[in-house]
Amino acid sequence: MTGHAGIKALVFDVFGTVVDWRSGVARAVEPFLQHHAPQLDAHEFADAWRREYSPSMEEIRSGRRPYVRLDVLHRENLVKALAHHGIDGVSADELDELNLAWHWLDPWPDAIEGLLRLKRRFIIAPLSNGNIRLMIDMAKRAALPWDAILGAEVVRAYKPSPRVYTETAEILGLPPDQVCMVAAHNGDLAAARGCGLKTAFVKRPNEHGPAQTTDLSAAQQWDFIADDFNELATRLGCAV
């Protein structure tokens, strides 16, 4: 692992790295499922909804579909997840309300303290596939102390497309090697490293629940490897 000299900004994956999407979505859909499908586990439904995430973005990354924001994809994916489980007769208003589940997610216990420490020394911003309003709503509810909202909607492309990383660095007015991508996902970091960014892996072994099998450890020798944001802040020389 390398030192932090030269790094001016940290940009963060959000779903899974900063916030616990699985628990938050399950909590939000529980009352709906109690009414429409009481036999269905809320976490199982959250997983089914999330499984549509990457395939829906691939339609855009591949050029088969023009860019649309993640709120649009999430709503379409919700309809697919409901159909998969045989749930029908859901009104448009109910769908819109359920779709807001992604706006109200809770941060991991270390996230706020760690971000505040990192913010004293570095520019910090999300580099998420989430759209701007989603990121704003989440930040305001959870008190995420971002300096800016960056990511997919700003550059109108989805990670891991290279332009998401390179254009984000350009927006910050920095060369890529002065920007560090922070993520709990090895694939995200590999894409960022390929674009010249520094990389920091933060372990989130429960992102997908107790049976998680992916991203349990660093797949490469990333520039920084930490168990949580506070450890990352310490490694980056940020005071408590």
pLDDT digits (tens, 9 = 90+) for 41-98: 999 999 999 999 999 999 999 999 999 999 999 999 999 999 999 999 899 999 999 9
Among residues 189, 192, 191, the alpha carbon closest in space to that of 225 is found at 189
What letter does residue 239 receive in the DSSP assignment?
A: -
Question: What CATH number is given for 9-20+105-235 in this structure?
Answer: 3.40.50.1000
Cβ atoms of 124 and 146 closer than 8 Å: yes
What CA–CA distance (Å, rounded) separates 127 from 147?
Answer: 12
The fold adopted by the segment(s) 21-103 is: DNA polymerase; domain 1 (1.10.150)
What whole-number percentage of the chain has pLDDT above 90?
Answer: 96
The owner of tokens 């529980």 is 30
pLDDT digits (tens, 9 = 90+) for 217-227: 999 999 999 99
pLDDT value of position 2 = 52
CB atoms within 10 A of CB 228: 16
pLDDT value of position 100 = 97
> What is the pTM for the complete model shown?
0.95
Domain boundaries, the chain: 9-20+105-235, 21-103
